[in-house]
Every structure is written in structure tokens, then in C-alpha cells.
Structure 1
Amino acid sequence: MSRSRPTRALASALVLAGALGTVPAAGSTASAAPGSTASAAVTTDYAAPAATDYTVEVDAAGTGPAIADTMYGVFFEDINRAADGGLYAELVQNRSFEYDPADNAGYTGMTAWAPTAPDGVRGTVGVVDDTGRLNERNRRYLRLDLPSGGQGYGVVNAGYNSGIRLDRQRYYDFSLWARTGAAAGTPLTVRLTDPAGANLAPPLRIVVRGDTWTRYTGTFRATATSSTGRLAVTGTGGGTVRLDMVSLFPRDTFKNRPNGMRRDLAEKVAALRPGFLRFPGGCLVNTGSHYGYTAPNYERRRSYQWKDTVGPVEERATNANFWGYNQSYGIGYYEYFQFAEDIGAMPLPVVPALVTGCGQNRATDDPELLRRHVQDTLDLIEFANGPATSEWGGLRARMGHPAPFGLTHLGVGNEENLPDEFFTRFQQFRAAIEAAYPEIMVISNSGPDDAGGTFDRLWQLNRDAGVEMVDEHYYNSPEWFLQHNDRYDSYDRAGPKVFLGEYASQDNRFYNALTEAAYMTGLERNADVVRLASYAPLLANEDYVQWRPDLIWFNNSTSWPSASYQVQKLFMTNVGDEVVPSRASGTPGTTLPITGAVGLSTWATSAAYDDVTVTAADGATLLRDDFSGGAGQWTHATGRGSWSVVDGAYVQSDAVAEDTMVTAGDPGWRDYDLRVTATKRSGREGFLVAFGVRDTGNFYWWNVGGWNNTQTAVEKASGGGKQTMIAKPGSVETGRAYDLRISVRDRTVTLYLDGQEWGSFTDDRVAEPFRQVVTRDRATGELVLKVVNAQASEAATRIDLGDRVRVGSTARVTTLSGGPDDVNTASFTPIQPRESRLTGVRNSFSYTFPAYSVTFIRLGVAGTATGAAGVAGTATGAVGGGSMERTVR
């Protein structure tokens, strides 16, 4: 998960557009379906006809690349509260009182807790860190000084979201560690209540005895259903009692495992039938926390290290998560391996390479620290695969899994921005692993983006070193996914294989899912190069969203699949064993010139702009502004920075505000030169000059000194998402005036910095809305025809299977269709698969694919080169929706 360009692009998408724009056919307008949130339709660079006829020609007896069983998988990162309060079934937040303002300014040791005195007789409460702690990793505990009288004094926990979810007649296991100085012991009452204090289960009575930390347990059976429950622990009798690791777990976890996973979330992941599980990140791996790498001291703010996450849960560290909150490590490496096994997925852990990524640029120069991390990685492999008689295999066995987990793949590093520094360290990891465990595939990466200097350099290093597999990450606009279906067609078949570890179109609407589906047909067509692929992120708690889009959404009482989940599930449960050669006709149309107004913006920076001129290709002046008469020609959205004319320049003075764009001119302008003088006054980055501005979600901008003032790039925003057109390293000096000129001609843009040509690009890729791929399912003898129609018009299509096969007369069809702006929510899920039966199928037949749809047709065939005998089509992996029968005419 990248903290650099994708984060900026997503923030921009949310601020500017708030939604995905669609790419309708010429003359059409996308509208919101019932229950969805409407957004302005994106104007497109491609004029398509209102209706198009297509052909799909299939060499039904031919064979193409084999598709690995692990082709599609899932990637879990603890972002959006995906673990604590999410997949991890623990219901108590801050159960060990380790939250701290050093990790999050809003935290204290009592976060999610509050004192309670049912009869008003109060004692004192405080979080303590001293030598009386539970252990060196679980340092803090709660001290309760109880009043001598009254009915009890203690604390109450509110859980996550609106409270603790309880279901009537379900069992909940409670535990805590406690000790007391009272000679006669300290009675505790533990209750599950509603916010007003009414019981939701019969109370538990516990007597804490002795001044040694001891674990106490009990079980509740809920008498009512609630999503706003509370857990209250009160003591009586005076004296002091100390509490730690206060836990409440639903007994009904996935596979009924103790310390396990929340059932509904785990079941949705399992229903994808993933071929692999990549864990535990992501940015939290290679940066761990915001504080980089430190020697082990079991203190706060450390990098993510797997040994902190295994063993008894009360002895695991609590760490500051990269994404701004604490993680308990209740889900640790043992639980990740166990979960992978439970869902039938290959485990694929990722370890830090000691070079930061995700918008940070640091590399360790401590050889001893690097040596220790390399050894930790070897120990991890032993933990996964070693015999129970080995040191780390023995720990795995003691935790409940004597047999090895069968680790075969391991990633080193994630989205590093320093390619040479990363690769030097990667080679040390790789050499050590291959020497000790030659059967393990060691996976490298290509940085945080789909192109650019870091990407090119890392790919060169990986190719030259003969690395087996390279992890690519990118989050782009829906248009990018339609434009780059052929991305892997030209990759070297003899070079490293690709692990597409993170990708997504930048929103959760159905149109985003359609463009992802169109792109996935290209992944499958290139299955000899792309061996692994996983959408990201996997999970998002609706009350703690840091990143959008996400595959599965949830709150404390329910969960629901996004439209992208439905696309991923359709592909993942209908993969096939090999690609079947096929080709489809394209969509005719005309590429339109770049048109639009101009804009100025900043990002966490104060900057001044002056002497703006826009000149047409014929020399006519379209705009001239030296701001001597104010800024009346510019449109400034309320709340987007602080703009004013200061000393004859247009100044944005807020050095914290992000995406502050102001615009001027006509959205219909084309073939022009934009010139401006820009000066950085203060802040983290440089300045942004926009052109081709058609509306708030569709524009280009030259981002000079972006990404914490480390590189310069041109980004294209379309539909609220972004893609990079050209990028180079570069920074901006504070106080220096820069002369910027942008020349736009048709679809070619040339950029000049201080009179010298900085770079140019031609944006002439077509966003093809009709894509297809065919695969063969050897087990059933079927061909699976997968067609995506990501446009507003139906696609009347002639499908020709040739004459070398016999085709069954009946096929099974699974369809996803809906409005392009449809969004699945907790209460309304318009995007669900529908099953139907197609009769009258022949070797050549016609089918009309609905507008905005993904369609899988499973065709029974015989007489192919595979020797398949069956002719009856049987759909697999289809779920939900209604069914219908349709006859081919």
C-alpha cells in the first residue's frame, strides 16, 4: 500500500469529485441507480458510437498459457481497522491499556474505557507502567483503588464502532489477568450491558486472590441482541486490584478457533477461494511505524517484526500501526498461517528489507541490524516449515500446529523508493534464504507505481540478477485500466514473473469494478507472465476508513461485499486451467483533442503565482493575469486553501491544506500554451499547475516537487482517479521563482522548466470498453468465455468457436450488471451475480451483452485437444441472484 502518489490521488478523488465519473458512449449520460450516490459523468477523450456490433473468434481446440492454481489471491493489511475491531474477533478495544498519545494524539491509556460507579460511590482509576507489569512486552495495566463501601467501582469498555455486538443466545468467553493486595481477595462483577447499564446477559462473579498475575475466565450467554453493548468490570471490598488483558471473544469464530477470526468476514474471504494470502502488509511492513527501524527493546513505535506477534497473546507487543492507530498483534504470524490453511490458500508473508517506502526515503546503515533481520527471516521460515524438534518449529508446535505450514513463497520489501539501496539489501536476504532454503521463492518488488524511474531501475536490477518474481503495485483511474489491458503482452517471457500484489481502480462503484474486470482479462491472457494477483485493500471498517476503495466493508454488526468483490469472486471461482486463444473486434471511435481550462494548486505547501498567460496556437491571447487588479478571473472553491493577492502575486498561504485548486478559463480551450511564474514560500512540497481542466474530477496537472519534494510528474485525473503520464526525480527550492510553460497540441503535451524542455508525452491510448478472454476448465471440459462490456450501450456479439469442437446446446451464464454509479452498501446491494441458462447454443451463435456488465458463459465442448468428453455446461462459483432461461436465435 503506497503512501505516495496513490494516497494523493485518492485524497484528490474524494475532495474534488467525491465519486467516480463514468465513461458513457457519445451522446449518453450516466445516471445513478436507485440507492446509489450520483456523481457527475466524466467527459471522455474517446468518441464511441451509440451502438456497436462485435465478433469474438475462439480457437476452441487450441491451447494457450497454463494458469496457476494460485493465480488470484487476497492481500491482508491492517488498514481501515481491518484487524482489531475487524477480522480479529476480539470485542474489547485497548484490552491491555497500551494506547498512548505518542502513537495517536487522541489516545490515552483509558481510550475506549470509562470509570463506572453504579451507586455513585467512587474510587480512583489509573493506567500504570512500572515494575509490577504483566510482562516486558505488555507493560501497562489498570490500577483500581476501590472504596470500602458501595456496590462496586470499576471500568466499562465500549468496544469498536457504536459498541460491542452481541447476539441473543450466543456464547461469549471472557478472560482477564488480575492480582490484588487484599488478603481476603477482591470480588469482581463482570457484566454485559446496554449503554444505559441494563444487563444483556447474567453477570459473572470472580474473586481475585493473591498478588501474582493470574488469568481468570468465564462465559456469558447473551439474553438479547445489541450492537451497542458494553463490558463492565467492577470490584468491591476496598483495597487495590490490578487488571490487564481484559478480553471478550465470541465463541462462534471462523472454524471455531480460539483467538480466531470474525466469522462473517472470514467466510467472505474464504468464499473467494483464494489461491494465496499475502500478509501482513503493505506499508506497515517496510516502515512498521512512522519511526523507522530500531534495535529490539520491546518499547513502543517499533517496526513490524514477526517475533513480536507469536507466542501467548498476553506476551505479544502492542505496536503503533503505520496507519495511525494501535495494533494488538492478536492476529500474529501463527494466526495468518493458520487462516491461510483454513481457507485453502498458499501463505505468502512479506518481511521488511530495512529500506522505507510508502513516501519515505530512508535505509538502514547498521550492518548488525540488517544481519539480525536476515536471521529473523530465516527463523520465520523455520517457524513455518521446521520440524517440531527445531527451536522455531517447536514454538509453532506448542502453539497448536505440529505439522509444517508448507511455506513456498516469501516477499522481501514493499514499495521502496530507493531502488539501489533496496536491491543491495534484498540481495543479502535472497542469498541467505537460498543458501538455507533453496526451495523458497524469494520475491522482489518494483516500487510504488506502474511506471517511472524507480520502476524502471528496479526492473533492470531484478532482470539482471535473475530474480524469479517481482511484485508490482498500482492504484489508477478507471480509464487507465481500460487503456492498459495489453500491459503484459510485451513483457519478456523469459524474464522474472509478475506478482501483481496490489491494484485497484480508485473508487468502489460498479464502473470501477467493470474496468478492473476488463483489466483482469489481460492478466489471464498473460498468465505465463502474471502468476499471482490480488486486489487491495481487502477490508474496511466503515467508521475507520483511511483508504478507498476496499473489497469488503463492515461495521460491528454486519458486512457486505463491494461491486469489486463480486467481480473478483466471479474471476477467482471460474479461473480455468489454461488460456484458450481468442480475439475480439474493437470499438470504433475517434480520439478527441485535450481540451480544458487552466488551474493553480498546492499540496501541504504555501506558494505564490504570478504572470499567468494562456496563448492560443494562432497567437491570440486567451488569458493574461499579473494580479495587479485582483484575482477576479479565478474560481476558488470555499474551504480549499487560503488564496489572496499579496504584493502583486496570487498566494495560497495555508501550508497545511491539500489540493487547493483554483481555475480560470474555458473548458473548451484546446491547442494552447500556459505560462506562469511559481514560487514556493513554505511547506513540504512544491506547486501544481493544471491544464485540460474540464471539471473537478477531470484534468491534468504538472506536479513540480511532489511526493515530499522528491519528484516531478504530470498526473491525469479522470473520474476522480489519477494516473501518472510522465515522472522524473526533482525538488523545488523555497523562495526561488520558477518559470513554467506547458504546450498543449492535440493530444501531445510538452513541458518547459526555466526555458528548458523538461519532458513531453502523447496521451493517445484508447479506453477500450469491450474486453474478453477464454479459459478451459479441464475438470469439466468446459470453455469459460468471459466478456466485459463497460459502456452504456449493449454489445451485440457474434461468437465463433470454429469447427474443430462439438459444442453442447446448453450453456450456463453468470452476469453482473447494473448502473455504473451503483455502490453496494450495508442496506442495498444492487451488484450481485445472476444465473441463467442459455439454450440453442451452436459453434457459431449470437449473444447480446448488456450495457455495463460482466458475463461468464460456460460452454460444454468435446473433441478438443484436451480430450474433454462432456458437452453439458455447468456453472461453478455463481452465487445469489435470480435465474432465467434464454434461447439463442
Structure 2
Amino acid sequence: MARARRHLPLALCAAVAAATVITVPLDAEAQDATDYTLRVDPRGDGPEIADHLYGIFYEDINRAADGGLYAELVQNRSFEYDPVDHPSYTGLTAWTPVSLAGGAGTAEVVDDEHRMNERNRRYLRLELAGTGGTDAAFGVTNSGYNTGIAVREGAGYDFSVWARTDAPGGTPLTVRLTDAGGAALAEPLRLEVTGDQWTRYTGTVTAEADSTTGRLTVAGGGAGTLRLDMVSLFPRDTFMHRPNGLRRDLAEKIADLEPGFLRFPGGCLVNTGSHYGYEGPDYPRARSYQWKDTVGPVEERATNKNFWGYNQSYGLGYFEYFQFAEDIGATPLPVVPALVTGCGQNQATDDPELLARHIQDTLDLVEFANGPADSEWGSLRAEMGHPEPFGMTHLAVGNEENLPEEFFERFVQFRDAIEAEYPEIVVVGNSGPSSAGATFDRLWELNREAGVEMVDEHYYNSPQWFLENNDRYDSYDRQGPEVFLGEYASQDNRFRNSLAEAAFMTGLERNADIVRMASYAPLLANVDYVQWSPDLIWFDNHRSWGSTSYETQKLFMTNVGDRVVPSEASGTPVLTEPITGAVGLSTWATSAAYDDVRVTSADGEVLFADDFSAGDGHWSHPDGRGEWAVEDGAYVQRDTSAEDTLVVAGDPEWRDYDLEVTATKLAGQEGFLIAFGVRDTGNHYWWNLGGWNNTTSAVERSVDGGKSTMVERPTRIETGREYEARVEVRGREVSLFLDGELWGSFTDDQIAEPFRQVVTYDEQAGELIVKVVNAQASAARTEIDLGGALVGRTARVTTLRGDPDAVNTAEEQPIRPEESVVRGVGPEFTHTFPPHSITFLRIRARI
């Protein structure tokens, strides 16, 4: 689907409601500044920037769908919750039986021949006793999500339920909206259920007060058997006022990003599950996400166990995703399973019939999205309200697979089948779950050899890594596949993370000829149901707010430009120090024993030796995790559930040393961890042997708690076997030996440059956009040379700045855009960029 290019001025009107516009003289913050130069070549040849360079990645994680973007207010509306979804679940999770005015009865969730359909199988059976007076009723109350159902005074809410009754004269149904204490929030809605066939009943209630603790009660009067299913309450004011629609404030925050594409529905939930078939005793649960389960009438869609540990209703399905993408002007980019699990689950199906069926399902998906209204799947799209094609151009197969050969064998079969029928579709491959390593290298090799058009990269690394890797894509092969950076973020949600991400994004734009699409991930997080952080947008049941990274992404996404203008900046003077630090031992969900720890200087002096014959007095246990004790002359950690059980010994000023240790895995999921260069619990290196469920080993560097991989090898650790490990540290170079053999080595000499920039040109506005990130504590006084371009005398400026530890919360968003105008701009001028800041200058220019 073609999109108009974005040529919006910086953060105008409601997009930055809290911004203030001030006029600032040049060089207004010149004290305590580091000096830089920035040279722009307006006549140079820079790459064109794709209309869809920046987009959004949506995955149903952190309850992003039910209880989040999907506007349904009733939790477990079809009584399908089950222990397979979560050990605490029952069919009545979020429901409580309730008696009104003396009514009595029983409430039971059943699956029998009276069910509504074969996919949405369970329903609520109320046996009504007929006790009490005219107003007596018996039923159930739903507690919604978070603290309850959130309603606004004066707002309308659409109620619906599927019901049937065996009472000859019908069953009166009372619908009440109250707060947690039982106080009425709206006039009761009264309906009459007639007949013993499933029928949908509807009505509207109008809230008479604000509440975030609302409860919805549905109760039947009289005697007999009343069956209920799909009990629903939607705000009438959904995004675009669509039925079965999206929560407005969340959808608007996403739309305000002006994303070029929408990647959906994941993520790990796409290619994980106990099996991939349609049949089986647990159908339709605990299986991979399959698009055909999510379309058609909502009441006929399956529910499924979500990879992230809860139930997903599929009320927000493929039709709604395509529709949302169209509503916000984004290219839809669905991801389908490749029948090779990822995300730490390493399995591949060998069933050729199942593979063939999934390939056909994918061809049917293309027809659903793009086919004519009289085709088999295009007609379903038309029946759902969209006769015109959605215009899908890209489709991804697989996500973060750890089995390169198995994945790629299946990927090629998908791609060949899609290209045979739909040659216009770009089929996107992937490179596994990390930014480097054996899996990453092998998948890129396979993608290149097969001529794949675009490869999806994913990585979540420390802010340090992002500052060090601005030039990551400078050396990528321009004759090979293009890059789709489908998931990335630095590890935390503070402004220091946003600064590092912004510095990295200047490198993405500079390499816009090879990096064609990029999306921060994950997108959404419900504060009461968090499986993963960081996240872009946070919410509860009535509020939403953007993280500091949201403000950063929004600034970049709404000010992209049409092409890159070549530019060059001076760097920050850096003094390279050797790796220094103490040593440590740790485990992760594993029991292990350590013995004969020895640290020797480069010239042979013994700095530390411990055979634990005298106990563990040399070791500190800073976080207290795990069960460490000396047993039979070894230091043993016994807790197989504890993670990151680090114990530390030695001098934090040690440098240029050898660390030797004997390690034995005793039990558990992984191997053992040997730490060096330990400054504290958040700043160290560790050799993670048998990590990631004993599938991979790597050296990880932790900076302020954020980790990045230095070197990675496929290494498994055997239980009960002694391993001799040695780590040699020389300056910034590290060599690692396992049982006397060189396992790997690395040099940690990349510079975490805090001053980064890129310049683009907005053709429609006729403006240079100078984008500068200053991720350090001192201001950056910068001599800017625009290369003789004919420019205006003022610049419109938008700045994000603040404490690097600042976090945006529901109560306070300290990181918000500030708008200003600077005067005295010319072909050459000086501007001082504040400490810890991201600054965009828009300058009228003829180039």
C-alpha cells in the first residue's frame, strides 16, 4: 500500500501538547561544554529514505491485546479460561456468582452438546431456583482487568450477550454496572431472553459517574436453565468508532507515531506452541498462532494459550490488524510460523503434510489480504466489511529460530510457494534472536546464498552497546539482502536508554539504503501484567503514557525526511582503560560446584587462590540469591530455581590477569557462569557456559545491568563432569580456554561515542533536518558548517533532555519535547546542544 511521504513540522499542535515555544539566542548554553564540529555536504549523494523506514511491532505480550489495545472490558467473556492457559485459571476466573434480592441458583461452566459452536466451546449454565420476589435474580459478576472496569461519566457502553433459556415464558435478564463496593454506576439494563436457541441480545448503558473499579453483573430471574456465552461490554467511543474496536487512547498514541508499517502478531507467540495442527485433545489450545483462528464472526473464533502465560481471545484478529494498519496509514506486515520453534524452544516439525498445510494457509492469507472480493478468502474479508484489498506488500516467515538449517529448509519452501503465486510479495527471512553469534552468522549466510530480499534482525542490548554500534550497518554488503530491524531496544526504560537508542538511530538513517525498516519493541505494557520490559507505551485500565523511548521514537518517526544529506562530525576524546575488576562465580536456574579458584598476574604472581578448605570467607554475596555453601571442599550453589546468584572475590582494581577455576554442573537447566572484570553486580563480564537452556555459551558484558554479547559459541555442558576453565585478560583483549582448548576470544575496544548526528532533507518543506544526540553530562558546543547551502536565518528546534535516570510514569512525564526557535543561523554557525539531549533543528534550505 502506497503512503504519502511525511513532511510534518516538528511536533506541532496536539502532538506535543505540553511543549512550550521560546526564542533562544545562539550559543545560549556554552558553559562547561565540549567542542565539536559538524560538516554538512549539501551537494553530496545520500541515500533515499524509505517511506516505511520506521514502523511499529505489535505482539500480544504484557496483555497488549485483551485488557489493552482490544477495547473489550470483560475478562474471560466466553468462559474459556483453563489451567492450560495458567495454573490459577478456571472457567470462572474473573467471575463471581451473585444473588440479587434473594435470588438463588448455581453457576457452572460446561462443555456439552448445548455449546454455541465447536470452536468457542464452553459456556455458563445458570440453574435458577426461582426464589425471592419480582426483582430476585441470580447470576455472575465480572471484575474486568487491573482494578476493574473503567468507565467515564456520560460515556456510553455497548453490552451484548449470547443466551438461551428453557423457561417457557422466557427469562428476564438484569445487567448492572456498579463499582467495587456495589454502588450503581448506571441505570440497570433489562432484557428478556426467549427461546432455547442461541441468540444475541444487546443494549447500551450510560455511566453516571467515573470509576476505575467497575463491575458488570449479569443475572437471570425466575426458574429454569439459563445459558450464557460471550458476555461483552465495549466503550462506544472506540478508535475510529469501530465495533469490536480498539481502545481509543492507546490506538491514538500509536497513530501519533505515524508508523510506516505494522508488524504483527508477534513475536514469540507466532512460532511457539505444543503442536501446529488443527486436531488433538487440547484443540484449540496450546498451539501456534494461526491466522484462520482469528477471523470470521467473533463468537466463532477460538481462544488459545498465549506464549506469555495467559489466555488470548482472538477478538483482536487478523482482520482487525489489517484494518488498524489501514486506519493509521501503515503497511501491514504479518508474520507466520515456519514450523520451527524459537525463543528458547528448539524443535522442528518433520511432518510434510503439516508443512504443506501451513504453506497453503499462508497462500490463503495473501488471498485474504489482497484477493478479489469474489475469491474464497477475499469473500470472507468482504463479508467482514472490507471488500477492497488491503494491499499487503511484505510477509515474514518465522521469528527468532535457533535452528538455522532446519528453519531455512522450511523458509525456502514457503518463499518459493508464495513467489510462484504472488511474485509481488516480499518474503522476509530472519537472523535469529541476537545481534551476533553462530546462529546469526549462519542465517545471514543462508539468506545471502538464497537471494532473500530482506532479513529481519532482533536484538535487546545494553545502552553501551547501542552507543558503540552506530556504525553497525556501514559495512553491510549493499549487494545482499536489505535489513528489517524488526525488534530492538536497550535494556531499561530510562532516558539514558533513549539517548543510546537515538544515537543508534542516526546510524540507521545514515544507512537507509540497506536498513529499509526498523521498529522498537515491544510496543505495549499493562502495568499489572508485565512479562517483558522495556516497552514503548504503558497503561492501566484508564490511563496511558509514553515512555522516554516513545518520545524519542515519535521525534524520529515524524521527522524522517526524504533523503540523507552527507555529514561528518568530530568525535569525543576518549581515554581507553584496560579491563579491570574482581572475579566471580554464578549460576542460573542450575546447581553447580566450584573449586580451585586461582588468579595470577601476567608476570606470574599469584594474586588469589582458594580451594575452599578454609570455608568461603574470601567471598561476598552481594544480592543474596541462591544457596551457597562449602561442601566436600568445593563451593556449591544448590538452588536450581535461583537466577543470577553471583558471589565475588578479589580486588576491583585487578588488571592483566589469568583466572582459573574448576566447575561442575550438578543439576538444573543450564551450566555455570564465571565472572571477571567485576566492578559491581551490574558491571562485569561473565562467561555463560551452557546458557539459554544449555544450548549456547557466550561471554556477556553487563554495563549498569544491561547486557550485550561479546562472543558466542554453541557449547553444551554435561552434568557431573568437571571442566577446567581459564580466562586470560590482557588490556582490552580476552582469551577463554575450556579444558585446555581455546574456546574463543574478543577485544572490547569499541568506543561508546556520546555525540552522534545525521542530517536529512525534507523536500516538500524545503528544510534540512539536523539531528544531534548528546548522550553525556557536558554540553556539546558545535561549529556547524552547512557547506555553503542557502539557508534561512532561524531554525525551529525540538529537544528532549533531562536526567539520564528519568522515567516517564502515569503521574509524571519529565521527558517531553521542548520547542524553541534559534536566530542567527547561517551557512556557518555555532550551536550548543544541552547535556543528555536529543535535538532536531529544522532549517529552511535550498540545496
**TM-score after normalising by structure 1:** 0.91
2:776 is aligned with 1:791: yes
Pairwise CA distance, 1:146: 1.4
Contact 1:90 1:249 in 2 (8 A): yes
Whether 1:489 aligns to 2:474 is yes
Residue 147 of structure 1 is aligned with which of 126, 129, 132?
Answer: 129
- Of 730, 737, 743 in structure 2, the residue corresponding to residue 752 of structure 1 is 737
Where does residue 178 of structure 1 map in the other structure? 163
CA contact (8 A) 2:582 2:653 kept: yes
Q: CA–CA distance in 2 between the matches of 1:50 and 1:860? A: 30
Equivalent in the alignment of 2:359? 374
SS in 2 for 1:703: strand
Aligned to 1:58: 40
Distance (whole Å) between structure 1 residues aligned to residue 407 and residue 504 of structure 2: 30
Q: Which moved more, 1:124-133 or 1:629-638?
A: 629-638
Residue 310 of structure 1, CA deviation: 0.1
- Work out the CA distance in 1 between the residues paired with 2:191 and 2:624: 55
**Offset at residue 639 of structure 1 (A):** 4.5
- Partner of 2:86 in structure 1? 104
With normalisation by structure 2, the TM-score equals 0.95
Q: CA deviation at 1:62?
A: 2.5
Name the residue aligned to 1:341: 326
| 2:363 corresponds to 1:363 | no
Q: C-alpha distance in 2, partners of 1:119/1:102? A: 37
Deviation (angstroms), 1:122: 3.2
Q: Deviation digits for residues 81-131 of structure 1, max 9, x if unmatched?
A: 000000000000000010101221111111111111134553211110112
What is the rounded CA distance, in whole Å, between the counterparts of 2:80 and 2:832 in structure 1?
59
* Inter-partner Cα distance in structure 2 for 1:299 and 1:404: 29
**Which amino acid counterpart does residue 490 of structure 1 have in structure 2?**
S
What one-letter code is carried by the residue in structure 2 that aligns with 1:69? D
**For 1:819, which of 780, 800, 803 is the aligned residue?**
803
For the 8 Å contact 1:808–1:841, the answer to whether it is kept is yes
Question: Counterpart of 1:20?
Answer: none
Whole-Å Cα distance in 2 between the matches of residues 558 and 195 of structure 1?
19
Which whole-Å CA distance do the structure 1 matches of 2:405 and 2:40 have between them?
Answer: 45
The residue aligned with 2:277 is: 294
2:609 pairs with 602, 608, 624, which one?
624
Query: Counterparts of 1:284 and 1:320 in 2: how far apart (Å)?
Result: 9
Q: Distance in 2 between matches of 1:660 and 1:243?
A: 50
**Residue number in structure 2 paired with 1:770:** 755
Q: CA deviation at 1:485?
A: 0.3
Maintained 8 Å contact 2:153/2:207 = yes
Q: In the alignment, residue 770 of structure 1 is paired with which amino acid?
A: F
Letter in 1 for 2:68: G
Which residue of structure 1 lines up, in the alignment, with residue 560 of structure 2?
Answer: 575
Contact conserved, 2:32 with 2:779, CA < 8 A, in 1? no
1:612 matched to 2:597:
yes
Distance in 1 of aligned mates of 2:797 and 2:279 = 56
The aligned amino acid for 2:804 is P
SS of residue paired to 2:693: helix
1:489-546 per-residue CA deviation (whole Å, 9 max, x = no partner) reads 0001111000000000001000000000000000000000000000000000000011
| Residue 501, structure 1, aligned to residue 483, structure 2 | no
Q: Is the 8 A contact 1:614 1:623 kept in 2?
A: yes
CA contact (8 A) 1:292 1:356 kept: no
Q: 1:514 aligns with which of 477, 499, 513?
A: 499
SS at match of 1:636: coil
**1:565 matched residue in structure 2:** 550
Deviation, structure 1 residue 236: 1.5
Cα separation, 2, equivalents of 1:427 and 1:92: 42
CA contact (8 A) 1:85 1:91 kept: yes
For 1:713 and 1:88, locate their aligned partners in 2 and report how far apart those are by CA, in whole Å. Answer: 39
Q: Is the 8 A contact 1:813 1:838 kept in 2?
A: yes
The answer to whether the 8 A contact 1:441-1:468 is kept is yes
Aligned equivalents of 2:681 and 2:33: distance in 1?
29
Per-residue CA deviations over 1:52-92 (Å, capped at 9, x if unaligned) read 20000001233300000000000000000000000000000
CA contact (8 A) 1:64 1:581 kept: yes
Task: Give the partner amino acid of 1:749.
Answer: V
Q: Read off the aligned partner of 2:713 and give its amino acid letter.
A: K
1:851 aligns with 2:812: no
Secondary structure in structure 2 of the residue aligned to 1:733: coil
Partner secondary structure for residue 462 of structure 1: helix
CA deviation digits over 1:409-461, x for unaligned, max 9?
00010010011111110110001000000110100000110111111111111
Residue matched to 1:743: 728
SS at match of 2:473: helix
Describe the superposition over 1:288-320 as per-residue Cα deviations: whole angstroms up to 9, x where unpaired.
x3x142344542212110000000000000000
Distance 1:665-1:122 versus aligned 2 partners, 3 A rule: farther
Instruction: Select 2:792's aligned residue among 797, 808, 811.
Output: 808
- Indicate the residue corresponding to 1:421 in structure 2: 406
Partners of 2:623 and 2:645 within 8 A in 1: no
**Deviation string for 1:718-766 (max 9, x for gaps)?**
1211000000101011100111111111111111101111111110001
Say if 1:295 and 1:369, in contact at 8 Å, map to a contact too. no
Structure 2 partner of 1:14? none
Equivalent residue for 2:28? none
> Which residue number in structure 1 is paired with residue 539 of structure 2?
554
Instruction: Look up the match of 1:868.
Output: none
**Counterpart Cα distance in 1 of 2:450 and 2:154:** 60
Once residues 109 and 789 of structure 1 are traced to their aligned partners in structure 2, the CA distance between those partners, rounded to angstroms, is 53
- Cα drift, residue 208 of structure 1: 1.1
Q: Secondary structure at the match of 2:100?
A: coil
Aligned pair partner of 1:387 in 365, 369, 372: 372
Q: Could you tell me how far 1:50 is from its partner in structure 2? A: 7.3
Q: How many residues align?
A: 812
- Please give the per-residue CA displacement for 1:787-841, whole angstroms capped at 9, x wherever unaligned: 00000000000000122x2111111000000000000000000000011111111
Q: Distance in 2 between matches of 1:446 and 1:844?
A: 44
How far is 1:551 from its partner?
A: 0.3
Matched letter for residue 499 of structure 2: L
CA distance in 2, matches of 1:54, 1:496: 35
1:584 Cα shift?
Answer: 0.1
2:463 equivalent to 1:475: no
- Paired residue for 1:89? 71
Question: Is 1:259 aligned to residue 241 of structure 2?
Answer: no
**Aligned mates of 2:154, 2:445 — CA distance in 1:** 60
Which of these residues, 171, 174, 195, is aligned with residue 210 of structure 1?
A: 195
Aligned partners of 2:42 and 2:793: how far apart in 1? Answer: 15
Q: Which residue does the alignment assign to 1:9?
A: none
Q: Distance in 1 between matches of 2:419 and 2:742?
A: 46
Q: CA RMSD in A?
A: 1.1
Structure 1 outlier segments of 4+, above 4 Å = none
The C-alpha deviation readout for 1:9-56, integer Å capped at 9, x for no partner, is: xxxxxxxxxxxxxxxxxxxxxxxxxxxxxxxxxxxxxxxx97420000
- Distance, in Å, in 2 between the alignment partners of 1:449 and 1:191 is 50
Structure 2: how far apart are the matches of 1:363 and 1:611? 41
8 Å CA contact retained: 1:116, 1:155 = yes
Identity of matched residues, %: 72
Partner of 1:71: 53
Query: Is 1:655 aligned to 2:671, yes or no?
Result: no
Superposed CA offset, 1:213-245 (max 9, x none): 111101000000000000001111121111100
Contact kept, 8 Å, 2:263 with 2:334, in 1: the verdict is yes
Q: Is the 8 A contact 2:623 2:646 kept in 1?
A: no
The separation in 2 between residues aligned to 1:50 and 1:431, in whole angstroms, is: 60
Segments of structure 1 that go 5 or more residues without pairing to the other structure are: 1-48, 865-889
For 1:786 and 1:644, locate their aligned partners in 2 and report how far apart those are by CA, in whole Å.
Answer: 54
1:693 aligns to what SS in structure 2? strand
Q: Is the 8 A contact 2:103 2:130 kept in 1?
A: no
Q: Distance in 1 between matches of 2:288 and 2:428?
A: 20
SS in 1 for 2:232: strand
Which residue of 1 is the match for residue 253 of structure 2? 268
Q: Corresponding residue for 1:540?
A: 525
CA distance in 1, matches of 2:418, 2:258: 29
- Does structure 2 conserve the Cα–Cα contact (< 8 Å) formed by 1:63 and 1:578? no
Tell me the secondary structure at the aligned position of residue 486 of structure 2: strand
> Which has the higher mean CA deviation after the structures are superposed, 297-306 or 710-719?
297-306
